Amino acid sequence: MSDAIAPGRGGACDLPGRADLPGRADLPGRADLLARAARLDDGDPLAKLRERFTLPDGVVYLDGNSLGALPAAVPGAVEDVVRRQWGELLIRSWDESGWWTAPERIGDLIAPLVGASPGQVTVGDSTSVNLFKALVGAARLAAPGRTRMLVDATTFPTDGYIAASAARLTGLEVVPVDPSDAVREMTDATAVVLLNHVDYRTGRLHDLPALTRAARAAGALVVWDLCHSAGALPVGLDAHAVDLAVGCTYKYLNGGPGSPAYLYVAARHQDAFDSPLPGWNSHAEPFAMTPEYEPARGAARARVGTPDILSMLALESALGVWEGVDVEDVRAKSLALTDFFLECVAAYVPEGAVESVTPAGHGERGSQVSLRTADARAVMTELIARGVVGDFRAPDVLRFGFTPLYVSFADAERAARTLGHIFG
């Protein structure tokens, strides 16, 4: 393996299925891996970005796929919002501090990270609420006579719950599909397709361009959940003509616990987008207080109620870490990190103790590595006790999320070495 961080192999994976750990013959020793990690970190163009975050000393943090680390500028920004904007300016801050325009302003900061032009992303509410808006809105945009909503069968459970509710409301039938089989299920009866860009358990990256093309060819609208991809790899919503997308901001976007989610509505759909949750904030004249609802123009029609200003402005500050950062470079480092971690696991962990369930091919891998092992919960508890923080998914999966903005190759080596120590 070269010590250079090069762009990943695009396109379809030529090694289907799980990422087999490298063979144990001629595996490098600990000294070789430590030296490799040092060289990779020395040549990493993103290494200095770690300074933009506050991370505890002595901890390897590989759980950014659940909660991103704290950007160093956020505490000061939140203090200003509380003490000056709220404490001194009071209600004047809706105008003077830009509170009223925050949902679309912050949406435009997220837009380039998901490949969207300005004016198509609004921030607010939770991922679940935004998904409900997106699915019902998509069903109302669909051609008459269509009866089916295809739903990723491997999705995060809440997505399934929301989809079932949206289907009941719109009279559609929910059809669970594995993303690998979704194309053959897309027929002239399909109204809406809901898919996850990256599987939250395995880290499998699904083919957004191809699946979106297939949905459009079938005359269906597609809704993508970007929770485990935005901020970790290129998405290309505009380039691939995605209809609607949702995502959280507390993972790879580092917005903080409970930070507001976002909703993308392609410009071509905005005038016809009929939200199932119309609120005074999405009214064309919100302060007219009229009994009749008239939706706002553009992305603002996806709003509902009063924005959560404290967490929203914390998110705005957090997004400052992306200044000058190219998502393509982030993707290249992500693939290099996960490749190196898998190599280290093969060198340090006894053969047969763990099995990777993350695809081997770069075209099918997100920014996490999931390892299956017996007693996974106890293993992760011990890892955390030893200063390596990942997470556990029932019944037997260890998840390690690699956030390239602050995770180093030395972190990857130490995490694998610690896992090896646990297995003896």
**Residues labelled catalytic:** 156, 225, 250-251, 399
Please spell the DSSP secondary structure of 117-167, one letter per residue. -TTSEEE-S-HHHHHHHHHHHHHHHSPTT--EEEEETTS-HHHHHHHHHHH
Contact 283, 294 (CB under 8 A): yes
Distance separating alpha carbons of residues 115 and 238, to the nearest angstrom:
6
Residue 64 φ/ψ, nearest 5 degrees: -65, -10
Pairing of strands 148-152, 173-177: parallel
Sequence-distant (6+) residues with CB within 8 A of 278 are 293, 295, 304
Contact 393, 369 (CB under 8 A): no
As beta bridge partners, residue 295 has: 283
Contact 333, 44 (CB under 8 A): yes
CA distances to 134, 221, 283, 297, 347 from 137, rounded to whole Å, are 5, 10, 16, 15, 50
Which one-letter amino acid corresponds to residue 176? P
Q: Is 22 left (phi over 0), alpha (psi -120 to 50) or beta?
A: beta
Which two structure tokens, joined as six digits, stand for 173?
């039938």
Cis peptide before 395 (omega within 30 of 0): yes
Contact 67, 250 (CB under 8 A): yes
Residue 101 φ/ψ, nearest 5 degrees: -90, 5
DSSP summary character for residue 241 = T
127-141 and 157-170 helices, crossing angle to 10°: 40
Distance of alpha carbon 249 from the chain centroid: 7
30-42 and 327-348 helices, crossing angle to 10°: 170
Sequence-distant (6+) residues with CB within 8 A of 78 are 310, 313, 314, 317
Which two structure tokens, joined as six digits, stand for 119?
């004016």
